[in-house]
């Protein structure tokens, strides 16, 4: 049995191998926005003052939550369709709150026009923003959420 501890230089990998390994694992998996929203809503419930177990007089708490529900209802009908900074999915190129073929189309137009593009649009992680990233968005746009059957 070999008890020798490997030398540090034996634990290094050449840059080409590292690049190949990263490419092997670079395929991005599409996360439906509904999952993001589920997490965000859970965060709001957990982190809001009422979610942290503070004791309040019932009547005051009822009035507060009723008001909050009405305000939240009004906001939700608009807010999830709009953006706050950093809340858009990467694939939502046109930032309309939906990931669909129009996002692939928008990126395709920008690629065709040769515009300088943000790094975040390199969706397949290959270092280049091109038709492959457009195809990545298109694939996500038409993906059935639960395979071929609902």
Partner 1 sequence: MRTALVILIWALVTPLFAQQPANEEGRASFRVVDIYVDSKRAPLAAYQLKFSMTNANAKIVGIEGGEHPAFREPPAYDPQAIQHERVIIAAFNTGSSDELPKGKARVATIHVQTTGGDALQCTLKVQTAANPEGTKIAVEAQRLPISSITRQ
Partner 2 sequence: MDGQIQNGKSDQHSDLDLVAAINSGDVVAFEVLYLRYRDWVVGLARRFAGNDDLAMDVLQETFLYVLKKFPGFALTSNFKTFLYPAVKNLAIAARNKARRYQSTEAEIARVESTPDPVESNCPDDLRQILKRLSQEHREVLLLRFVDGLDLAEIAQVMDIPLGTVKSRLHNALATLRADPRTKKFFE
Residues in the site for partner 2, rule: CB under 8 A? Answer: 5-6, 10-11, 13-14, 16-18, 20-32, 35-36, 38-40, 42-44, 46-49, 52, 84-87, 124-126, 146-147
CA distance 8 to 16: 19
Residue 138 in contact with partner 1, rule: CB under 8 A? yes
In the complex, the smallest distance separating the C-beta of residue 112 from partner 1, rounded to whole angstroms, is 5
Contact 51, 45 (CB under 8 A): yes
Q: Using CA atoms, how far apart are residues 111 and 130, in angstroms rounded to an integer?
A: 6
CB of 97: closest distance to partner 1 in angstroms? Answer: 12
In the bound state with partner 2, the residue whose beta carbon lies nearer, of 22 and 112, is: 22
Bridge partners, residue 147, by sequence: 145
| Residues from 47 through 106 that contact partner 1 (CB under 8 A) | 94, 98, 100-102, 104-106
SS (H, E, C) 126-138: CCCCCHHHHHHHH
Q: How far is the CB of 12 from partner 2 (least distance, A)?
A: 8
Q: Of 106, 94, 93, 91, which is closest to residue 139 (Cα–Cα)?
A: 91
* 78/113 with CB nearer partner 2: 78
How would you classify residue 147: left for phi > 0, otherwise alpha for psi between -120 and 50, otherwise beta? left
For residue 112, the partner it binds in partner 2, partner 1, none, with Cβ less than 5 to 8 A by kind, is: partner 1
CA distances to 1, 3, 89 from 6, rounded to whole Å, are 14, 9, 43
Name the minimum Å distance from CB 81 to partner 2. 17
| Residues contributing to the site for partner 1 (CB under 8 A) | 94, 98, 100-102, 104-106, 108-109, 112, 135, 138-139, 141-144, 147-150
């Amino acid at each position: 049995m070999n008890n020798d501890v490997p030398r540090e230089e034996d634990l290094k990998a050449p840059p080409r191998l590292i690049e190949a390994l990263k490419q092997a694992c670079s395929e991005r998996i599409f996360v439906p926005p509904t999952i993001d929203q589920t997490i965000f809503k859970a965060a709001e419930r957990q982190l809001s003052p009422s979610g942290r177990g503070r004791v309040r007089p019932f009547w005051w708490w009822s009035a507060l939550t009723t008001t909050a529900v009405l305000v939240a209802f009004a906001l939700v009908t608009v807010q999830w369709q709009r953006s706050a900074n950093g809340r858009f999915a990467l694939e939502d190129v046109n930032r309309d709150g939906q990931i669909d073929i129009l996002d692939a189309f928008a990126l395709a137009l920008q690629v065709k026009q040769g515009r300088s593009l943000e790094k975040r649009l390199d969706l397949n992680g290959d270092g280049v923003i091109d038709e492959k990233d457009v195809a990545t968005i298109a694939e996500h746009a038409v993906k059935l959420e639960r395979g071929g059957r609902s």
